[in-house]
Amino acid sequence: MLTIKSRSHEYSVEEFQTLSCALRSTDRSRAHYLIDRSIIQYYNEVIASETELSRTVLIEASEENKAFERLTPIFLELLEKGLKRDGVLIVIGGGVLQDIGCFIASVLFRGLRWELVPTTLLAQADSCIGSKSSINVGPYKNQIGTFYPPYRVLLTPQVLQTLPFDEIRSGLGEVIKLQLLNNKDGFEELIDDLNRLSSDTRFSIISKWVQRSMEVKKPYIEQDEYDRGVRNLLNYGHTFGHAFESASHYGIPHGIAVILGMLTATFFSARLGLIPEEYYFDLKQKLAPWHKPFGAKLLKVDRSAIFSAIKHDKKNTGNSINCILTKGFGCMEKHSVDFDGELQPAVNIFIDQEINL
Amino acid sequence: MLTIKSRSHEYSVEEFQTLSCALRSTDRSRAHYLIDRSIIQYYNEVIASETELSRTVLIEASEENKAFERLTPIFLELLEKGLKRDGVLIVIGGGVLQDIGCFIASVLFRGLRWELVPTTLLAQADSCIGSKSSINVGPYKNQIGTFYPPYRVLLTPQVLQTLPFDEIRSGLGEVIKLQLLNNKDGFEELIDDLNRLSSDTRFSIISKWVQRSMEVKKPYIEQDEYDRGVRNLLNYGHTFGHAFESASHYGIPHGIAVILGMLTATFFSARLGLIPEEYYFDLKQKLAPWHKPFGAKLLKVDRSAIFSAIKHDKKNTGNSINCILTKGFGCMEKHSVDFDGELQPAVNIFIDQEINL
């Protein structure tokens, strides 16, 4: 069990053999549920026997549903189903469910107890700790949100076994990022393990790296929960990654977009002389298996949409662009770069020549 | 200048001679504005010269607009008008504007700097400090909200001069409540002052009691910002008052409803033997001028709607009802009372026999 300190409250990350065990650890008499509809297809029986249908709201986990204007019916359904301020909201799903559940719990009754059962690799290894929710409004992505961690995070490796391999691959983006932020040994051990991934080894390898990812992330979010300093470094790869993701209309999954974003940031770092070119070439070669076939698809994405997204990232406050660049393993730095003179040419060359395999 | 400590940040309450001076103290280059449309009719020139129309959103301050489902267009207008995370939201208005502004500032970019220019007596003397926002969703009143105080509160007595006298009277409810929570001397001095209220004395008397109200409220909100203990006592009169307000479809203004609610709570306290009947009779006589003619209107309000509202108050977690009763000046207590056996009969007698003047 891991414990995380937050300005709001301390919370625990607990591991359970099965989803059933995880759900049995909650206070069912006080619980209402927010469940990703797609979970039902794999865990219909567990959900039926370990939760209360009459106190459940099912949600389709789509980017469109993670919108402020789509939350009203969810609030109403929870209130109509009798949720009170002494209740607990149990959220079962991946990143979209977490964002919706966290936001709702943070503002309903000015703050409601909630517990999270993350069901994707991305949610288990990365987003389930760190307090953040992100909600879209109209065309503006992730501009609304809160800092409000769950009171308990209930991990179960069982749910990762039923995930399609593409879902696992998408989650690897943040796992890889965290080891690049860690150190050379961590990164190389991860790459070795990933190269040995098979349906037999999947379970134990993934569980190991879920744990290792959280250990790397924990000090960043505890020291800087509100993301005003050192936590910014966790955005390595994200200025570019978010832009690839949104400009592709989410055709490039988040984790893959982060891998491509880290390669962009590293290519850019080498061009600026922050690291030797060899570091970039090595990374490019080692990460190649983990972004195929999406890397090549970048060439077809509307280039102006990519640049527009980079400019409008919520982390940019003026005309220059903030991005996290690298001086090597465990050594990321925030830089403010000139959009026209530095950033745009580097991204153009990267997409045209580096990733077009 | 008063300073208030909050879990989120410390903030100041500053007084200015005029609205113009207050607005000049803000950082206009970074400001966007959320302004109560009705302010414009009195302060058109000041608003035009001291704010930026191109960065202003005007809002009609109605209960209907204080709804979650009505916030989307406000977010979109602010974002379209270029509000960024390093901006400041200046909110000018009464309680509804404060609720909307506070909620938006607390979730936009996961927390945006905001400053408040309260323009009603209720907002100046009471709600501007204490961090809370309250937002309706569908038929559910005030069930959504956040704790997020402004970074600065800019008070100006000037704006109270243009308020209709009924608006002033409505604001007095919370002013009276705070002196009842204070002590006998404070309450009697206030009643004496109120009896001397005239258009000539209004300015200085009201300014004095705005200041005195804040001094009483400050320790409650600093010790218990999240309203889990001693701050509950500030709800004296509110369990009943909120019910009168909503059951009358907001025909009874908030402050008047609080006065009627305090009388109900005091009548109930006397019936339960917590205080001598004389205390109640004295209070009833002294407060009579300040709820007319709304007290008599209570008889016409749908009684079942009143009881339904009391039962569904967000502060009630089970079947018994929490309400703040009194043992005298400065001596309020939280009690859990039986709805059928105790509360309902007392409220019926109060409305039928006590207030039907």
Dihedrals φ, ψ of A250, to 5°?
A: 65, 20
Residue A293: pLDDT band (50, 70, 90) is: confident
How far is the CA of B107 from the CAs of A210, B80, B101, B147, in angstroms?
29, 17, 10, 11
- What average pLDDT does the segment A9-36 reach? 97
Strand A152-155 and strand A11-15: pairing?
A: parallel
Partner residue facing B317 (CB), from A84, A140, A143:
A84
Cα(B346)–Cα(B266) distance, integer angstroms = 10
pLDDT at A324: 98
Is the per-residue pLDDT at B318 higher than 80? no
Specify whether the CB–CB gap between A240 and A310 falls below 8 A.
yes
- With an 8 Å Cβ cutoff, the interface of chain B facing chain A consists of 7, 68-69, 71-72, 75-76, 79, 84-86, 103, 106-111, 132, 135, 137-138, 140, 143-147, 226-227, 314-315, 317
Q: Which residue has the tokens 């901006």?
A: B87
Copy the structure tokens of residue A289. 């298996």
- Residues in A closer than 8 angstroms to B79, CB to CB, are 137-138, 140, 143
Rounded to a whole number of angstroms, the distance from the CA of B309 to the nearest CA of chain A is: 15
What average pLDDT does the segment B174-193 reach?
Answer: 98
pLDDT band at B305 (very low <50, low <70, confident <90, very high): very high
Does ipTM come in above 0.90? yes
Confidence category of residue A161, pLDDT binned at 50, 70, 90: confident
**Interface-testing mutation among A86, A137, A224, A322, with chain B (most B C-beta atoms within 10 A):** A137
Q: Given a cut of 90, is residue A204 above it in pLDDT? A: no
> What are the DSSP calls for B62-108, one per residue?
-GGGSBGGGSHHHHHHHHHTT--TT-EEEEEESHHHHHHHHHHHHHB
Distance in Å from the first CA to the final CA of chain A: 43
Answer whether A135's CB lies under 8 Å from A96's CB: no
Whether A356 has a pLDDT exceeding 90, the answer reads no
Average pLDDT over every residue of B43-56:
96
DSSP string, A299-340: GGS-HHHHHHHHHH-TT--SSSEEEEEESSTT-EEEEEE-II
Each residue of B239-266: pLDDT tens digit?
999 999 999 998 999 999 999 999 999 9
- With CA atoms as reference, the chain A residue closest to B87 would be A317
pLDDT per position as a tens digit, B96-151:
999 999 999 999 999 999 999 999 999 999 999 999 999 999 999 899 999 999 99
The pair of three-digit structure tokens given for residue A297, joined into one six-digit string = 């698809």
Locate the domains of chain B by residue range: 2-161, 165-354
Q: Is the pLDDT of residue B357 over 60?
A: no
The confidence score (pLDDT) of residue A112 equals 98
pLDDT for position B202: 82
Return the structure tokens found at A107. Answer: 């503002």
**What's the average model confidence in pLDDT over A66-92?**
97
Using a pLDDT cut of 70, give the percent of chain A over it.
Answer: 98
A108/B76 touch (CB, cutoff 8 Å), yes or no: no
- Write the residue in A72, A110, A146 that is nearest to B107 by C-beta: A146
Exposed / middle / buried, residue B253 (Cβ in 10 Å: 0-12, 13-18, 19+): buried
Q: Which fold has domain B165-354?
A: Dehydroquinate synthase-like, alpha domain (1.20.1090)
Which residues on chain A are in Cβ contact (under 8 Å) with B109?
Answer: 143-145, 314
Burial-class residue B21 by CB neighbours within 10 Å (0-12, 13-18, 19+).
middle
Taking residues A137-162, what's their average pLDDT? 94
For chain B, what is the mean pLDDT?
A: 94
**How far does CA B220 lie from the centroid of its chain?**
15
User: Cβ distance B155 to B124 under 8 Å?
Assistant: yes
Task: Report the mean per-residue pLDDT for chain A.
Answer: 94
pLDDT of residue B261: 97
The tens digit of pLDDT for each residue in A318-349 reads 678 999 999 999 999 999 999 999 999 999 99
Q: Give yes or no for residue B158 having a pLDDT over 80.
A: yes
At residue B312, does pLDDT exceed 80?
Answer: no
- In chain A, which residues have their Cβ closer than 8 Å to the Cβ of B111? 147, 226
What 3-state DSSP class applies to A266? Answer: helix
Neighbours of B129 (CB within 10 A): 25
CB-CB contact of A257 with A286 (8 Å): no
Find which of A70, A71, A72, A103 to mutate to test the B interface (most B CBs within 10 Å of its CB): A72
Residue A53 tokens read as: 């249908």
Rounded distance between C-alpha atoms, residue B135 and residue B143, angstroms? 6
Whole-number Å distance between alpha carbons of B189 and A276? 77
pLDDT of residue B88: 98
CB < 8 Å to A147, chain B: 110-111
Instruction: Name chain A contacts of B317, Cβ cutoff 8 Å.
Output: 84-86
The CATH number that domain A185-354 falls under is: 1.20.1090.10
Instruction: Please tell me which of the candidates B7, B69, B110 has its beta carbon nearest to residue A72.
Output: B69
**A241, two tokens:** 């990654």
Residue A1: burial class (beta carbons within 10 Å; 0-12, 13-18, 19+) = exposed
Asked whether residue B349 carries a pLDDT value surpassing 70, the answer given is yes
Which pLDDT tens digit goes with each residue over A91-149?
A: 999 999 999 999 999 999 999 999 999 999 999 999 999 999 999 999 998 999 999 99
Residue B315 has pLDDT above 90, yes or no: no
Closest CA to A319 of A341, A303, A349, A302: A341
A233-261 pLDDT, tens digit each: 999 999 999 999 999 998 999 999 999 99
* Helices marked H in chain A: 19-24, 37-50, 72-80, 95-107, 121-122, 158-161, 165-182, 184-195, 202-223, 238-247, 254-271, 277-287, 294-297, 303-312, 344-349
Q: What is the pTM of this model?
A: 0.93
Report helix, strand or coil for B187: helix
| Cis peptide bond prior to A293, omega within 30° of 0 | yes
The residue ranges of DSSP E strands in B100-170, in sequence order, are 113-118, 135-137, 140-144, 152-155
- For chains A and B, what is the number of CB pairs under 8 angstroms? 92
pLDDT at res. A318: 61
The two beta strands, A321-326 and A332-337, are antiparallel
Amino acid at A50: E
CA distance B146 to chain A (A): 5
Q: What is the DSSP string of A38-88?
A: HHHHHHHHHHHHHS-GGGEEEE---GGGSBGGGSHHHHHHHHHTT--TT-E
Whether residue A47 has pLDDT greater than 80: yes
Q: Spell B313-346 as b/e; 16+ CB within 10 A means b.
A: bbbbeeeebbbbbbeebbebeebebeeeebbbeb
Percent of chain B with pLDDT over 90: 86
Average pLDDT estimate for B166-176: 90
H or E element that contains B238: helix B238-247
The strand pairing partners of B89, in sequence order, are B32, B114
Q: For the residues B2-27, what does the mean pLDDT come to?
A: 97
**C-alpha to C-alpha distance for B56 and B234, rounded to whole angstroms:** 34
A88-93 and A113-118 strand pairing: parallel
Tell me the backbone φ, ψ of residue A197, rounded to 5 degrees: -60, 130
| The CATH number of the domain covering residues in A2-161 | 3.40.50.1970
Which residues are CB-contacts of B56 (< 8 A; sequence separation ≥ 6)?
B32, B33, B34, B35, B81
Query: Which uninterrupted H or E stretch holds B287?
Result: helix B277-287
3-state class (DSSP) for residue B36: strand
